[in-house]
Amino acid sequence: MIELFSANTPNGKKISIMLEEIGYEYKTTKIDLDKGEQFKPEFKKISPLSKIPVIIDQNKNKTIFESGAILMYLAEESGKFYDQKNRLEINQWLMAQMGYVGPMLGQHHQFHHYNPGKSKFGEERYFKIAERIYTELDQRLSNSKFLSGDDYTIADIGTFPWIARHEWHDIGLSNYKNLTRWYNDISKREAVIKGFSFMNKDEVIPKP
90-120 pLDDT per residue, tens: 999 999 999 999 999 999 999 999 999 999 9
Give the pLDDT of residue 121.
95
Is 200 within the bounds of a domain? no
Residues 38/52, Cβ–Cβ less than 8 Å = yes
pLDDT the model gives residue 95: 98
- SS3 of 20-55: the string is HHHCCCEEEEECCCCCCHHHCHHHHCCCCCCCCCEE
By percentage, how much of the chain surpasses pLDDT 70?
100
Task: From 48, 80, 112, give the residue that closes a domain.
Answer: 80
Contact assessment for residue 154 and residue 75, using Cβ atoms and an 8 Å cutoff: yes
Q: What pLDDT is attached to residue 24?
A: 97
Residue 153 lies inside a defined structural domain of this protein: yes
Domain CATH for 101: 1.20.1050.10
Inter-residue contact 78 to 71 (CB < 8 Å): no
Per-residue pLDDT tens digits for 13-46: 999 999 999 999 999 999 999 999 999 999 999 9
pLDDT at 81: 98
**Domain range for residue 119?**
84-195
In degrees, rounded to 5, the angle at the alpha carbon of residue 73 between the alpha carbons of residues 26 and 19 is 30
CATH number at residue 29: 3.40.30.10
In the predicted model, what is the mean pLDDT of the chain?
Answer: 97
